[in-house]
Amino acid sequence: MLRAKHRSIVRLWVACWLLFAPAVPAEENRCVLVLYSNNRLLPANIEFETGLRETLDNSTELNAEFLDYPRFEGESYLRALTTFLHEKYALRPPAVLIAGGKGALDFVLRHRAELFPGVPVIHAAVSRSFLRSRPPLPADVVGVPIEFDFPGTIELALRLHPRARRLVLVTGASKQDRAWEAELRGDVAQFQDRVTTEFLAGLPTDTLLQRLSGLDGDTLVVTPGYFEDGVGHLFSPREAAGLIAAAAAAPVYGPFDTFIGIGIVGGSMPNFAAMGQQAGRLVKDRLAGGAPAAPRLPEMMPKAVNLDWRQIRRWDIDPSAIPDGAIVRFKPPTLLEQHATATVFATVVFLLQAGLIARLLFESRRRRRMELAIQQQRFELAHASRLAVAGELTGAIAHEINQPLGAILSNADAADLLLASDEDRRDELRAIMADIRRDNMRASEVIRRLRALLAKQPADWHTFALNDAVRELEPVLRAEARRRGVALDLRLAATATTLLGDRVQIQQVLINLALNAMDAANGLPEARRAVALSVERDADRLTLVVRDRGQGIAPEHLPRLFDSFFSTKPRGMGLGLSITRTLVEAHGGRVWAESDPGAGAVFRVEWPAVDDAGTAEPA
């Protein structure tokens, strides 16, 4: 009874344990075996494995075996290999098997039952033509077929070399090489109306390279490389293609992306790393318990045009002929690609600077235009002011002309009297005629100077003596001073007074200052009605001084004296001094006033001295 009770408790305990104890999973097999058709060092295999490892995580154990075709072949080799693999993987069977290449797939399909029964198989890098040539694959053998694109590669070569007339196809002597040769012979048929074709198949490498070095410029070479040459020397296709590209005097194209970088121009190629990634995705799917039946897979691995930029340059290929979407390798990055931020920044700074410079240029042109306009206005104003001054000087001018005219008249009367006498007085008559001529010239000289002063002529710069310019005005100024009852004292410099500029404008300066000085003397006792003009020259300066003994200038007026429209005179315009300053400064000089209020004013105009050639004299 007790024993039965004990048994039921044990049963209950076992039942509870079964129900609630955590489930312990059988150890998960994450071993993957990749069986490659060829040699371990074949570049395509290395690329493939890189893509595969990128896709699988670290928890997957990846083992690799190499059938080493075509170097090792034959029944006994395969028998030994099968035994080896059987023994090696008996205790560590793979959960998934990858067959890389058609040789490996063929081997797996034949020996699978004895080696890896029930293990799902993924094939990679197996050509579609091979798959089509054999019975359909079992449901648990899946993969994405590839196609080595010989026609696409030839088409590309002809596109990049439109003048090519001859196609040389290079293949080797191994079984695989012969298979490629056969495939190529089928493919070139479609190009025969565009180029002549020639096969260099299974030659000794030395002979082949010699033939290739003698090719002419109209020829293109297309090759899948080879495993074995005509005298049994073994290569990887990549090694063979490298030798071919180095020797050939014509551009070389090939269908494998592992050839890029060894001297070929390019080709239309499936990508071995992408094949590894695709196989990796299928492995993950299997390890995660995906159905063994073929999933929805792409019909074929995509191909892409791959090109080597250095070869494009070497063979002078027109870059515009490169098809869209082509992968161009070894192209030096542009400045923008290399230093994107810095380049964008520099471009922005450059554009801003260019904008700033353009703006400054525009402003400077505008300023120059405005300066020219102002200069023109000043010129007009100076001329208007000269006309106004001439109005003021009418009395003096009339006197200057009337005097010789009056003298001419008196001389003419005297001549009449002499002619009426009976005596021969021809000598006296000759003297009278000379006087008349002199007076006439004096009058016409006054008119000539007046015309020069009043004519509207553009500035005419040349060197002249300031003494002469003052002396020319002396008669008119004296006449005016006499008319106003002012004593005029004129002193010229004893040494050279060369000045570079417009003589009429400098004379205008003198007239303005002299008339102001005479104005200042107006209404004063005779003793103070005196104006002194002098031209002075020292080592580095030429000075014109106009001094009067009038009321002087009130200190508060001094700062505004040269402003336009500043005048203290009842009918003054206030333009004389402002025009004077403009003209003086245009000649590189300066003008200023000094005043002793109640006792007179002095106006000084100063220019740097120049020598007779018009250059500034050293100080």
Q: Give the binding site for ligand ADP (CB under 6 A).
A: 516-517, 520, 548, 550, 553, 557, 561, 566-569, 572-578, 601
Q: H or E stretch including 341?
A: helix 340-392
CB within 8 A of 441, min separation 6: which ones?
A: none
User: Nearer Cβ to ligand ADP, position 269 or 601?
Assistant: 601
Burial (CB count within 10 angstroms: exposed 0-12, middle 13-18, buried 19+), residue 309 = middle
Residue 266 contacts residue 311 (beta carbons within 8 Å)? yes
Smallest distance, Å, CB 397 to ligand ADP?
A: 19
- Taking the C-alpha atoms of residue 326 and residue 267, their distance in angstroms, rounded to an integer, is 10
- Taking the C-alpha atoms of residue 141 and residue 163, their distance in angstroms, rounded to an integer, is 47
Smallest distance, Å, CB 510 to ligand ADP?
A: 13
Residue 271 contacts residue 304 (beta carbons within 8 Å)? yes
Smallest distance, Å, CB 454 to ligand ADP?
A: 19
* Plot region of 336 (φ>0 → left; ψ -120 to 50 → alpha; else → beta): alpha
Smallest distance, Å, CB 457 to ligand ADP?
A: 23
**SS3 for 289?**
coil
Smallest distance, Å, CB 545 to ligand ADP?
A: 12
User: Nearer Cβ to ligand ADP, position 217 or 572?
Assistant: 572
Residue 156, both tokens? 């590309």
**Distance between terminal CA atoms of the chain?**
144
Smallest distance, Å, CB 466 to ligand ADP?
A: 20
User: Nearer Cβ to ligand ADP, position 82 or 567?
Assistant: 567
Smallest distance, Å, CB 568 to ligand ADP?
A: 3
Smallest distance, Å, CB 520 to ligand ADP?
A: 4
User: Nearer Cβ to ligand ADP, position 399 or 549?
Assistant: 549
Smallest distance, Å, CB 413 to ligand ADP?
A: 43
- Taking the C-alpha atoms of residue 262 and residue 241, their distance in angstroms, rounded to an integer, is 8
- Taking the C-alpha atoms of residue 577 and residue 562, their distance in angstroms, rounded to an integer, is 5
User: Nearer Cβ to ligand ADP, position 265 or 520?
Assistant: 520
CB within 8 A of 256, min separation 6: which ones?
A: 44, 148, 224, 225, 237, 238, 241, 267, 269, 272
User: Nearer Cβ to ligand ADP, position 311 or 516?
Assistant: 516
User: Nearer Cβ to ligand ADP, position 141 or 553?
Assistant: 553
User: Nearer Cβ to ligand ADP, position 206 or 526?
Assistant: 526
The gap from C-alpha 299 to its chain's centroid, in whole angstroms, comes to: 48
- Taking the C-alpha atoms of residue 488 and residue 494, their distance in angstroms, rounded to an integer, is 19
User: Nearer Cβ to ligand ADP, position 581 or 587?
Assistant: 581
